[in-house]
Amino acid sequence: MIIIKVGGGEGINYDAVCDDIAQLWREGQQLIFIHGGSHRTNVVAEALGHPPQFVTSPSGYTSRLTDRAALEIFQMVYCGQINKTLVERLQRRGVNAVGLSGIDGRIWQGPRKNVIKVVENGRTRILRNNYTGTVTQVNYAFLQNLLDAGCLPVLTPPAISFEGEAMNVDGDRAAAATAAAFRAEELLILSNVPGVLRQFPDEASLIPQLHADQIDQVAEAYAQGRMRIKLLGAQEASAQGVRRVVLGDARGQQPILRALDGQGTIITQPQPEMTA
Amino acid sequence: MIIIKVGGGEGINYDAVCDDIAQLWREGQQLIFIHGGSHRTNVVAEALGHPPQFVTSPSGYTSRLTDRAALEIFQMVYCGQINKTLVERLQRRGVNAVGLSGIDGRIWQGPRKNVIKVVENGRTRILRNNYTGTVTQVNYAFLQNLLDAGCLPVLTPPAISFEGEAMNVDGDRAAAATAAAFRAEELLILSNVPGVLRQFPDEASLIPQLHADQIDQVAEAYAQGRMRIKLLGAQEASAQGVRRVVLGDARGQQPILRALDGQGTIITQPQPEMTA
């Protein structure tokens, strides 16, 4: 099983992504495809007069401020526009894609974080009525049933809280939880950068290889913005036994085949200690 | 099996709809729930600067003009906003709802009508690049697999063409095709009117009962706007063996329980000829 997460930033080549998925599908590879939609959500939110707002947590992670109005726009774009155009592209390529959110069949479930702490101008502030959370349970049986029926699941946030509320979750970490639930051999997390860069945005400064136990140090020293959360996702997947995570580039041709071929930042399990 | 279609006009009581579905679900009733989203789509399309356009066919049916831009807005609202908020409402009531469009797993497939004839100011005109079509194949096996897995399918247009393109289809007729595929005992088509009215909009002029072979005559004599297509859906379902179709009202409390109880316009098979 390979779990493929493709982000929603500007410049993603969705046609090339779907070409690669169709090729792997024809070869009989078991796959789950997970996507984002942040750039389009920002555009639609602006157009609808609810401009996106982002907040930074005390630990330095940036995320979308998700009140109920933002959540509904988020759902429109992620579950409506992007999910269905990806399913359509895949169906046109002969892949029996089925698009679902984490709410459907409680595929992604976890605790909602109604109250969050954010840092603004160096001061910590409390925000309420927040529709975000974390995936702690993946409905493996439901997804396996779809796979057994010959479907390719195409998954997207939001997830669902234990109380049954839709909530925004980080797609990279949801992908990591899914990879862990399936004991996937590989997790690909693709976005619009080539991987972890020592000197962002200098693409020549790509870090090609990491062991999972180096992630904290690398995240602290080099990672910018969204890359910190991708590294956190990689760390969570590795800790739960996923052998290889690739942080790769979804711009250009053959983005998935290139990542499988090792282009990007490859994260593997730490080397075992030598025994006497 | 009961197929429940709830339209997307103004005034629908979605909480009451979900309350009733949850009650039937707890009682063990097999269900498929299909919804529309026309009113919200109009609102969002206006807000995004692509105001909705409607066209009338030479045979007198009114439908949404669906170019590619309109299709994507349609998908955002139907598959994103409305489908997911309904799934959320049902999950919160303990129903294991799974929201899907007709594209997913090719649930609703059929021919696309790229070129349509429309009547404007009494003159017939040809329109191209139209993303509409008709459902002629329902993926029964996929839906039955979901039902067997303990899920309630929550379905919405668009459907998918034989060539793999998303296309707008009429939700009432898609519901009729689904009811026929399942040989459902009953099809409920609920909207924001009480049923077929002899003198629209006088709600006291409700026609409480019809035989399927009277539909053409009633549609010709009395039906306004969207009611003509609902009657066509009822006719198609009846012709394929659905024993009872109710055109009912989804405003107010207990809309589904009331329809099951016979409130609205009930359409049954024609009386069999007496045999000697």
Residue B103: is its pLDDT beyond 80? yes
CA distance B155 to B41: 16
Q: Residue B188, CB half-sphere, CA atoms under 13 Å: how many?
A: 29
CA distance B50 to B42: 9
pLDDT per 10-residue tile (average), chain A, 276 residues: 96 97 97 96 94 90 90 97 98 98 98 92 91 97 98 98 97 98 97 94 94 94 86 96 97 97 94 62
Residue range of the domain that includes A205: 2-268
Q: Which residue has the tokens 């439908």?
A: B63
What is the total count of domains within chain B? 1
Is A213 domain-assigned? yes
Is B275 domain-assigned? no
Q: What's the pLDDT tens digit per position in A108-135?
A: 999 999 899 999 888 999 999 899 999 9
Q: Are B39 and B8 in contact (CB under 8 A)?
A: yes
Specify the pLDDT at position A222.
Answer: 87
Q: A227: burial class by Cβ within 10 Å (0-12, 13-18, 19+)?
A: buried
Specify the pLDDT at position A48.
Answer: 94
Q: Which of B18, B33, B82, B101 has the most A C-beta neighbours within 10 Å, making it the best mutation to test the interface with A?
A: B101
Q: What's the pLDDT tens digit per position in B145-172?
A: 999 999 999 999 999 999 999 999 999 9
Reported ipTM exceeds the 0.90 cut: yes
- Say if the Cβ atoms of B149 and A142 lie within 8 Å: yes
CA distance A72 to chain B (A): 6
Give 3-state DSSP helix, strand, coil % of chain B, rounded to 5: 40, 25, 35
Higher pLDDT, B250 or A270: B250
Specify the pLDDT at position A124.
Answer: 94
Is B24 domain-assigned? yes
Specify the pLDDT at position A118.
Answer: 93
Q: Nearest Cβ partner of A84 from B81, B91, B101? A: B101
The nearest alpha carbon in chain B to A44 belongs to B48
Q: Are B95 and B21 in contact (CB under 8 A)?
A: yes
Which domain CATH number covers A167? 3.40.1160.10
Specify the pLDDT at position A224.
Answer: 76
Q: Which residues of A touch B131 (CB under 8 A)?
A: none
Is A273 domain-assigned? no
The nearest alpha carbon in chain A to B141 belongs to A149
Is A217 domain-assigned? yes
CA distance A73 to A78: 9
Is B78 part of the contact surface with chain A (CB cutoff 8 Å)? yes
Is B273 domain-assigned? no
Is A156 strand, coil or helix?
A: strand
Is B166 domain-assigned? yes
Is A200 domain-assigned? yes
Residue B182: is its pLDDT beyond 60? yes
- Say if the Cβ atoms of A81 and B80 lie within 8 Å: yes
Higher pLDDT, B225 or A177: A177
Q: How confident is the model at residue B60 (pLDDT cuts 50, 70, 90)?
A: confident
Specify the pLDDT at position B275.
Answer: 57
Average pLDDT estimate for B18-40: 97
Tell me the pTM: 0.96
Element (H, E) at B256: helix B255-260
